[in-house]
Structure 1
Amino acid sequence: MGKKKINYYKEKRWIMAWWYKRNKELQFTDIDMLFQWNKWWKSDFTDSADEAFRNTYYWVKRTVNTMSMDQIKKGRYAVVVNKPIPKAIQNMAISKGYYIKKSSASKHPLIVSGYAIFKHKRSKDPVYGGKHELTMRQVIEFLEGSE
């Protein structure tokens, strides 16, 4: 079985560290972290015994135990994807009846800095990419596959 690529993996690790640093009263076992991770980002990891998950768990635990909240915030913001939506892609979306929105890590630090597709500019619920976890490639693939 090949290694699955997790979109925004570095951001997700930092977000998880931020979450646990901020919520010190929460249990911090591998099972608890797997549950929280899958609550936010379904199907990145399926098993707490997975080597990639184990490495992620140990990294998050070490980060929470050795870094201050300010250091964690700096680390989280250092990995943010700051690429804006290309105008040509937004125009393609609009021509097909959609609107692309990019997440703002400064406004929503516990959400990855990816993209989501909405029906209209003012829509609250995304049509695709519910947690703003789409890459630009996924956005383009969606738009090219839609009528």
Structure 2
Amino acid sequence: MFRDEDLALLVRPLFAFLTVAPRAGRWPAPRPVWFEVTDGGDLAMFSESGSPKLSRLREQSRASVVVAAPPGEPEHWVAVEGAVTLHDQGGADLAARLADRYGLSSDPKYQALIEQWRASGVVRIVLHPEKVNRFSA
């Protein structure tokens, strides 16, 4: 589903902005998250088990993600929407892998945070792309 130019952006250590269905009376509010593209072409993220976004995803298992090139580069973004599955297994390993991807695995405060996530548990969020929009200048 992703084109080569999409993957060129998505393999970079950029934030994805995850949007889930809001609570009643609220507007959607994207949240920055670490992510990776899986071998199967899905997007994997994680969240602490008690987070509000997980409650929303359990109620409505759809989400969208936008990843954009940083300022100073030509405009380039990829927007993905689709169904989401939640997995109790693999979240801590994903978090550790992503800390390495984002260059934070040697930072003592992130090492402590990863150990905290391993102890308390984090949920792996997998977005299965159904629609991809994109722009590249």
Taking structure 2 as the reference length, the TM-score comes to 0.31
Taking structure 1 as the reference length, the TM-score comes to 0.29
Higher RCO by CA contacts (8 Å cutoff, separation 6 or greater): 2
The structure with the largest helix share of the pair is 1
The structure with the largest strand share of the pair is 2
